[in-house]
Structures are given as structure tokens and as C-alpha cells.
Amino acid sequence: MPGCVFISRFLSIFIALFLVLSPQVFAQDPPVGGTSKTDRPEEDDFKPTPYTSYGDFNSEDDEAEDTRFFQYGRFFGLSIGAGYEGATGNKGLLYNGGFPAFELKVLYWFDFQLALALGVYTAKHFFNGELTAYSDATIYRYDLNIFKVGADLRYYFTTKDLSAPITFASPYLTAGFGTYSRSLTNKTNAAQPIEETSVGFNAGAGLEFVVKPKKSYFNLEGKIHVVDFEDSQAKVNLSGGTSLKDQGGMFFSLMGSFLFTW
């Protein structure tokens, strides 16, 4: 019995001590700053990178340029022009006339610097001679009509940092291709015209003067045209005894035109 009493007293003392000390044993001091972990904002797990950003690179610059083009640029245009067509080499010695030449174009602008032109062009020439490929050793009067249908690209130079006269003239380069149709008529004996079509190329440069911004302009344009027809290597005898071994050479055109845009 005394042992049981001793054990029961010991247990009572142990339980009393445990109850007194347990709040201090299990209590935790709050972190520095007075807030718990749940009160502190955590860093985002997602961090933006160039690959996760919305849109294309330099999208703001592209949008600004597009906005400027829609505000100040041109979209479509209609050009009506007239001028002179001549020729170099033996073609220049053979062909006379070439004035007036006419052209009609429709233009579309991709941006401030690049435009596409679709159009038609025509010019008339004549000469007195013997075409060995078609005639019977007799000098005849021939009329020659050139008709072109084609497409050109225009590239306008950026002139905002250049002198005022250059900026006012707005220079550009042009190049393209098309089909050149030639109608050759013997006017002396009223024979049927000889028709021929060939593919050719052209290149040149021009100046564009503002008449009314975004409304009307005046263009001066010079081009060379490289095209060969089937009889280009045929001999030609001219009146007066002059002979040309072939009809080699290039056409060139000098045109002035009014351009209306919207």
C-alpha cells in the first residue's frame, strides 16, 4: 500500500508539472515583423519572358508606322500621261515619229515607299525602207504601232533628311515587264498589218511633284524598254542607199503624267 500511494502521488505531481509547462513548450514566437507566413505575399511563380509576351516583336513600332500610313499615305491612284518614245542603235536610225505616246496606269501603294503600277502604253512610228524579211526589194512606207500591257514596281526614296528641293521632287525608281505588241503596216500597197507580240522589260526613274497633297501630283518619268521581235536581226535597206545590217537597239520613253490619288 505505501508503494501504491507513492506512485499515485508521483503521477499527480508529474501531471501537474506537465499542465503548467506545456503552454511554454508548444508555444512558438512569431516571426520578425509581427506577421506569419500566411500573411506575407509570395512571389509569383510565373515570370514574363520575350517568348510569353503578347504580340510580335516591335509591335508598337509597327502599329505606329501603320497608323501614320493610314493617316498620311496614299492607297490607290490613276495616272494619265503623254510624251515621246524614241530608240537607240539601228532602231533609232530606222524609226521616225514617236510623238505623242500615251499611257494609262492604275497604282496601288503598299506603304510610303513601295507601289505597284498596272497600265497600258502606246506609241506610233514610221519609216521608208525595204524590209528584206517581208518585201520584194522595193522601198515602201511603213507605219509601226507599239502597244504595251504590263506591271511596274515603284520605289520612292526617303527624303525627309535631304535638302528641300530633293524632298519637293520626291525621286523614285521603277522597273517592270510586260507584253509588247507591234503592228507593222505597209501603207504603200495597203497590205494587211503584220502583227507580233513579245515579252519585254523596262526600267527607269522619275520625279513626283505635289500639286495637292494626297490628291494630285505631276510625274516626270524616263524609261528604257528592252524588247526584241522576230525580225530584229533582219537587214533593212533605207531610201538613199543606206543599209542597216539589223534592227538592234532599245526603245526609250519620256513621259509627263498627272496622278490622282485617294
| Grid coordinates given for 19 | 499542465
pLDDT at 19: 59
CA distance 240 to 40: 107
Given this model, what pLDDT does residue 21 score? 53
pLDDT band at 216 (very low <50, low <70, confident <90, very high): very high
Structural domain boundaries in the chain: 76-261
Strands 171-186, 114-131: pairing is unpaired
In the prediction, which pLDDT does 26 show?
Answer: 47
Whole-number mean pLDDT of the chain? 83
* Lowest model confidence (mean pLDDT) among 58-67, 69-78, 152-161, 171-180: 58-67
Whether 79 shows a pLDDT value over 90: the answer reads yes
Asked if residue 136 has pLDDT above 90, the reply is: no
CATH, range 76-261: 2.40.160.20
pLDDT (0 to 100) of residue 34: 52
The alpha-carbon radius of gyration of the chain (Å, integer) is 43
Tell me the pLDDT band of 30, cut-offs 50, 70 and 90: low
Residue-wise pLDDT tens digits, 235-254 = 998 877 789 999 999 999 99
Given a cut of 70, is residue 57 above it in pLDDT?
Answer: no
Contact by Cβ (8 Å): 229, 198: yes
Q: Is 201 helix (H, G, I), strand (E, B) or coil?
A: strand
Q: What is the pTM of this model?
A: 0.73
Looking at the predicted structure, is the pLDDT value of residue 202 above 80? Answer: yes
- pLDDT tens digits, 145-195: 999 999 999 999 988 777 887 888 999 999 999 999 999 999 888 778 999
Q: What length is written for the chain?
A: 262
SS3 content of the chain, % helix, strand, coil (to 5): 20, 45, 35
Comparison of pLDDT for 177 and 63, the residue scoring more: 177
